[in-house]
């Protein structure tokens, strides 16, 4: 019965060519876009805006040279233009002459970039001073870029790929699946099923299994493109990756189905799913670390499913880790998934 | 006495703004075609949906094939066939696939080929549902209602929105269901459909059953089982003055007057004389037997289609 339901889902799905194309193409396009933008190296480049002096001194020249040597991107602009750019908020750090010395203005909104830039500018200033006075250049501590898993250094696109896989799957579960469910219910597409003896859980499980396979195919395409175009290799075991993906898909699909039981209309569903998606996303630690958050919040965050899922995905994919270190995380994901599925079956209505 | 196929007592369902079903009692015998006739909003569909288990009633008892929903829900579902007022299937499923799929939900099912043949949909067996005409979609819905070889079939307005030819062919399918020994319960707001198909029927209005019986007995129970009609070219004039002169009720319709009577032979000369004297510009006279429409009119003071 489940098998039949599953096959029919696939057959109907495969007839909607446009939807199917975009489902598979969208993450690939996203990867191509980001991967191309950040092709060389570790994320966004650091840049400093240099306000041009009316008459550059040798000291200015030495500083500019040192900045370039330290791989800072220097944008030399006339004062008026630099100020305009600053007030538009596009500048992270701006360097200008100030009396006998220099002044560095940092954009408080872009502190991550600005802070790193400030460190490099100060180093450059020490180098330039040494060069001008003929003293030996100050020693720098050697830097090595590595992924946190200590296996080997990877570029931004390979960091991005597992995140894309994960996020794509979460949004598919929360938005597409749940939304489709609500809109079909609104259009009365399930009413005819309500008068048959088909159990709800078989109907739902058929859909989850269908989506699960869609996700696996999607992931396979993404991995293939990542490998062929960006040379990104899966560092871990494919079976581990498959298992994590399957658990994650199951979990977030079940989330979508469960939420769809709480919404009367598609509009209502959009509101509810965002209400769940954004906290999940913001608190997942994907965008910023929660080290500074209060302890109780950290405890809450520790049992949410998104972070352990993405973490396990990255560890396996980027660092070639095994599943051993992620048992607790995967148990959290599975528990959420089962609880959500139980809730989904309980709340599901045919009409 | 055999157990009735369907027995309903004191069924009630209120929605926030309206009492849709207000104390309905019904009894349907095995093997008969039973109709619920009434205008839109009479509570026919709500009654049927409660019987089918789609809606829960506020009060009342239902026994289908001797079973109650509370204890035997799954068994009832597998023994009844249902056609909803609008059967919305997935756009890109074909009739053959739909019949196979829905058949797979039941312990016992008929082959899609048989059913396609029964509703004359073999030509369209592999066309997407969305490309079928209204009549074809209704026929598919009818075939779906038969997919589990049900003992009892519920049809909700099976011919609404169909052209006359499609209606006739659906009627044939319903007659065949009866021929195969199935009990059929259908709703309709077409009195000709009720008369043509139903062994017995209940007339519903405002959530209540106002009359139950065979079509013939319902008509025979009327005090005035015949109707004389005066037809006009164009819109019929106001009959109030003429009714007084005639000493008999005259009901205006769009382009005719209806005069119900128990004795058309005696009425006719009197009527023609009065019409002549009042210079009524009618064009034709008809005498006809009363219909279910007249039964409804007589009981509610309103026409079925109003």
Q: Average pLDDT of B258-267?
A: 88
Nearest CA in chain A to B51: A195
A121 and A197 share a domain? no
B-chain residues near A194 (CB < 8 A): 53-54
Q: Residues 309-348, chain A: which have Cβ within 8 Å of B?
A: none
Task: Return the residue in B101, B140, B144 with the most chain A beta carbons within 10 A, the one to mutate for interface testing.
Answer: B101
A121 and A211 share a domain? no
Query: In total, how many domains does chain A have?
Result: 2
The yes-or-no verdict on residue A285 having pLDDT over 70 is no
Tell me what pLDDT residue A155 has: 66
Minimal Cβ distance to B74: which of A189, A191, A197 = A197
A35 and A81 share a domain? no
A35 and A52 share a domain? no
Domains and CATH numbers, chain B: 6-216 (3.40.50.300), 223-289 (3.30.70.980)
Task: Return the residue in B92, B98, B148, B153 with the most chain A beta carbons within 10 A, the one to mutate for interface testing.
Answer: B92
Q: Does A297 touch chain B (CB under 8 A)?
A: no
Tell me what pLDDT residue A20 has: 84
Tens of pLDDT, residues A203-259? 988 888 898 888 888 888 888 888 888 778 888 888 898 899 889 989 998 999 999
Minimal Cβ distance to A4: which of B104, B107, B128 = B104
Q: Looking at A99, A133, A167, which one is the last position of a domain?
A: A133
The yes-or-no verdict on residue A265 having pLDDT over 50 is yes
Nearest CA in chain A to B83: A192
Taking an 8 Å cut-off on Cβ atoms, the answer to whether B84 and A192 are in contact is: yes
State the ipTM, two decimals.
Answer: 0.83
- β-bridge pairing A73-77 and A93-98: unpaired
Minimal Cβ distance to B89: which of A192, A194, A197 = A192
Distance from CA of B297 to the nearest CA of A (A): 34
Contact A128, A138 (CB under 8 A): no
| Average pLDDT of chain A, as a whole number | 85
A-chain residues near B89 (CB < 8 A): 189, 192
Taking an 8 Å cut-off on Cβ atoms, the answer to whether A12 and B92 are in contact is: yes
Contact A85, A68 (CB under 8 A): no
Taking an 8 Å cut-off on Cβ atoms, the answer to whether A192 and B93 are in contact is: no
Taking an 8 Å cut-off on Cβ atoms, the answer to whether B88 and A196 are in contact is: no
B-chain residues near A8 (CB < 8 A): 93, 97, 101
A-chain residues near B97 (CB < 8 A): 8, 11
A-chain residues near B53 (CB < 8 A): 194-195
A26 and A77 share a domain? no
CA–CA gap between residue B253 and residue B11 (Å, rounded): 35
B-chain residues near A350 (CB < 8 A): 54
Residue A325 lies in a domain: yes
The yes-or-no verdict on residue A140 having pLDDT over 90 is no
A104 and A185 share a domain? no
A58 and A22 share a domain? no
Tens of pLDDT, residues B92-104? 899 999 999 999 9
**Cβ atoms within 10 Å, residue B128:** 16
Taking an 8 Å cut-off on Cβ atoms, the answer to whether B88 and A187 are in contact is: yes
Q: Average pLDDT of B44-52?
A: 95
Tell me what pLDDT residue A322 has: 83
Indicate left, alpha or beta for A198 from its phi (over 0: left) and psi (-120 to 50: alpha): beta
Angstrom CA distances, A221 to A142, A216, A317, B103, B288, stand at 39, 9, 15, 36, 75
Tell me what pLDDT residue B87 has: 83
Q: What is the DSSP letter of B32?
A: -
Angle ∠(A271,A272,A278) on CA atoms, nearest 5: 85
Residue A266 lies in a domain: yes
Minimal Cβ distance to A197: which of B77, B88, B128 = B77
Give φ, ψ of B67 to 5 degrees.
-115, 150
Tens of pLDDT, residues A57-90? 888 889 999 998 888 888 899 999 999 999 998 8
Tell me what pLDDT residue B166 has: 84
Q: What band does A136 get if pLDDT is binned at 50, 70 and 90?
A: confident
A287 and A255 share a domain? yes
Residue A144 lies in a domain: no
Tell me what pLDDT residue A148 has: 62
Tens of pLDDT, residues A89-129? 889 999 998 888 899 999 998 888 888 899 989 999 999 99
Tell me what pLDDT residue B152 has: 96
Tell me what pLDDT residue B305 has: 62
A210 and A306 share a domain? yes
Domain span at residue A102? 47-133
Tell me what pLDDT residue B8 has: 95
CATH number at residue A92: 3.40.190
Residue A201 lies in a domain: yes
Q: What band does A146 get if pLDDT is binned at 50, 70 and 90?
A: low
The number of C-beta contacts closer than 8 angstroms across A and B is: 54
Compute the radius of gyration of chain B from its Cα atoms. 22
Task: Return the residue in B72, B84, B112 with the most chain A beta carbons within 10 A, the one to mutate for interface testing.
Answer: B84
A-chain residues near B152 (CB < 8 A): none
Minimal Cβ distance to B104: which of A1, A12, A351 = A1
Strand partners, B155: B83, B186
Among A18-27, A41-50, A138-147, name the most confident range.
A18-27
A191 and A306 share a domain? yes
CA–CA gap between residue B92 and residue B139 (Å, rounded): 17
Distance of CA A188 to the CA centre of its chain: 36
Residue A98 lies in a domain: yes
Q: What band does A38 get if pLDDT is binned at 50, 70 and 90?
A: low
A35 and A110 share a domain? no
Taking an 8 Å cut-off on Cβ atoms, the answer to whether A194 and B89 are in contact is: no
CA–CA gap between residue A273 and residue A340 (Å, rounded): 14
Nearest CA in chain A to B147: A196
A66 and A204 share a domain? no
Residue A139 lies in a domain: no
Nearest CA in chain A to B86: A188
**Cβ atoms within 10 Å, residue A169:** 25
A-chain residues near B74 (CB < 8 A): 197
Minimal Cβ distance to A196: which of B93, B97, B105 = B105
Residue A15 lies in a domain: yes
Q: Does A189 touch chain B (CB under 8 A)?
A: yes
Distance from CA of B92 to the nearest CA of A (A): 6
B151: closest CA among B118, B106, B116? B106
Residue A140 lies in a domain: no
Q: Looking at A107, A133, A159, which one is the last position of a domain?
A: A133
Q: Residue A47: which residues within 8 A CB-CB, separation 6 or more?
A: A72, A73, A74, A75, A92, A93, A117
Q: Looking at A133, A166, A192, which one is the last position of a domain?
A: A133
Tell me what pLDDT residue A145 has: 64
Minimal Cβ distance to A191: which of B84, B104, B105 = B84
């Amino acid at each position: 019965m489940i098998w039949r339901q599953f096959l029919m889902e696939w057959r109907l799905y495969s007839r909607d060519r446009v939807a199917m194309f975009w489902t598979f193409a969208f993450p690939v396009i996203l990867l191509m876009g980001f991967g191309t933008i950040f092709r060389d190296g570790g994320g966004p480049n650091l840049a400093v805006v240099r306000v041009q002096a009316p008459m550059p001194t040798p000291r200015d020249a030495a500083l500019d040279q040192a900045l370039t040597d330290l791989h800072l991107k220097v944008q030399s602009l006339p004062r008026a233009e630099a100020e305009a750019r600053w007030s538009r908020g596009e500048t992270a750090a701006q360097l200008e002459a100030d009396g006998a010395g220099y002044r560095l203005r940092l954009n408080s909104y872009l502190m991550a970039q600005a802070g790193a830039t400030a460190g490099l500018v100060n180093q450059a200033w020490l180098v330039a001073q040494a060069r001008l006075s003929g003293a030996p250049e100050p020693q720098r501590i050697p830097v090595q870029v590595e992924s946190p898993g200590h296996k080997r250094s990877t570029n931004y696109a390979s960091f991005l790929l597992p995140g894309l896989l994960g996020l794509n799957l979460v949004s598919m579960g929360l938005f597409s699946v749940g939304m489709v469910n609500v809109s079909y219910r609104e259009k009365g597409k399930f009413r005819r099923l309500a008068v048959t003896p088909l159990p709800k859980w078989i109907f739902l499980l058929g859909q989850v299994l269908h989506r699960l396979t869609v996700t696996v195919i999607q992931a396979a395409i993404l991995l293939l493109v990542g490998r062929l175009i960006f040379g990104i290799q899966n560092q871990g075991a494919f079976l581990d990756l498959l298992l994590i993906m399957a658990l994650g898909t199951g979990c977030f699909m079940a989330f979508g189905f469960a939420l769809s039981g709480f919404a009367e209309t598609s509009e209502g569903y959009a509101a509810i799913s965002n209400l769940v998606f954004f906290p999940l996303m913001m608190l997942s630690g994907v965008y910023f670390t929660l080290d500074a958050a209060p302890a109780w919040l950290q405890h809450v965050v520790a049992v949410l499913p998104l972070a352990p899922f993405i973490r396990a995905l990255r560890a396996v994919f980027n660092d070639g880790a095994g599943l051993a270190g992620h048992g607790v995380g995967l148990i959290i994901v599975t528990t959420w998934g089962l609880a959500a599925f139980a809730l989904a079956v309980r709340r599901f209505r045919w009409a | 006495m055999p157990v009735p196929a369907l027995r309903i007592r004191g069924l009630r369902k209120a929605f926030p703004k309206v009492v849709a079903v207000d104390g309905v009692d019904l009894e349907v015998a095995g093997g008969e075609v039973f109709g619920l006739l009434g205008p839109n909003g009479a509570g026919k569909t709500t009654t049927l949906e409660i019987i089918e288990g789609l809606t829960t009633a506020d009060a009342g008892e239902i026994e289908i094939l001797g079973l109650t929903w509370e204890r035997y829900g799954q068994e009832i579902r597998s023994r009844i066939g249902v056609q909803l007022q609008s059967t919305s299937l997935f756009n890109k499923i074909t009739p053959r696939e739909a019949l196979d799929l829905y058949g797979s939900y039941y312990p016992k099912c008929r082959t899609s080929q048989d059913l396609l043949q029964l509703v004359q949909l073999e030509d369209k067996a592999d066309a997407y549902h969305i490309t079928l005409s209204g009549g074809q979609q209704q026929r598919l819905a009818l075939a779906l209602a038969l997919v589990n070889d049900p003992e009892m079939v519920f049809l909700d307005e099976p011919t609404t929105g169909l052209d006359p030819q499609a209606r006739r062919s659906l009627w044939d399918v319903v007659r065949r269901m009866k021929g195969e020994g199935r009990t059929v319960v259908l709703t309709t707001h077409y009195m000709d459909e009720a008369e043509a198909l139903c062994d017995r029927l209940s007339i519903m209005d405002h959530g209540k059953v106002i009359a139950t019986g065979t079509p013939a007995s319902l008509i025979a129970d009327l005090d005035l089982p015949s109707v004389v009609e005066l037809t006009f070219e164009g819109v019929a004039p106001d009959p109030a003055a003429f009714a007084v002169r005639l000493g008999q009720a005259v009901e205006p319709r769009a382009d005719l007057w209806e005069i119900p009577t128990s004795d058309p032979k005696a009425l006719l000369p009197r009527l023609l004389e009065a019409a002549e004297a009042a210079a009524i510009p009618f064009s034709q006279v008809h005498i006809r037997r009363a219909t279910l429409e007249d039964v409804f009119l007589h009981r509610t003071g309103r026409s079925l289609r109003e």
